[in-house]
Amino acid sequence: MNELPARRRERILQWLKEDSLLRIDDLAERLGISTMTVHRDLNVLAEMGLVEKIHGGVQLPDAHTSPTQTCTLCHMPVKHRLHFILTAAGGETRRACCPHCGLLLLAHESESAPALLRDFIYGRIVNVRQAHFVVESRISICCEPSVLAFATAADAHDFQRGFDGQVMDFPTACSYLARTHRGS
């Protein structure tokens, strides 16, 4: 099948919502990849707190046992609803407390660094490059300027109608944050 890692991880999460426990061998067969590749994908998802690896398989985590994680950039606690994770060039995983910090972290990585974040409304995992952002809305949950991520442009525009702000695609949001943080 040879999908991009972010797409495979999205599919794994979707399958876990349907079946709360999956075997690694079954995932490898479904995805047409090696078990080692499945393990690498699951390691990323586990570091995000989205899955819990168990012997021979994976399950959805118990909400009461997920450890507190801190943002690589500002060292604030990573909020489940705003979680942003990227895989750096050397393979290390970096977390951000919100899309604001995540986009700034991503600016220091290669253009192709894989990054995932959570949709603000539904909590779905979204590839950052396909997300839409509402910047500087009246809702400020984390860092300033406020940046919230949405899976679709329609959701971003609906949110904007209620809470103001500017709807931006990935490149525009990155440029905006680069300009607002120049000299800081």
User: Exposed/middle/buried for 71, CB within 10 Å: 0-12, 13-18, 19+?
Assistant: buried
CATH architecture for residues 5-59: Orthogonal Bundle (1.10)
128 Rama sector, left if φ>0, alpha if ψ -120 to 50, beta otherwise: alpha
Question: What pLDDT does residue 62 have?
Answer: 65
- Residues constituting the chain: 184
Q: ∠ CA 51-88-108 to the nearest 5 degrees?
A: 130
The mean pLDDT values, 10 residues at a time, for the chain of 184 residues are 79 88 93 93 82 86 61 86 85 90 89 88 91 94 92 96 96 94 58
147 Rama sector, left if φ>0, alpha if ψ -120 to 50, beta otherwise: beta
Question: What pLDDT does residue 133 have?
Answer: 98
DSSP class of residue 108?
A: T
The answer to whether residues 45 and 13 touch, using CB atoms and an 8 Å cutoff, is: yes
Q: Which residues make up the CATH 1.10.10.10 domain(s) of the chain?
A: 5-59
Q: How far apart are CA 130 and CA 55, in angstroms?
A: 33
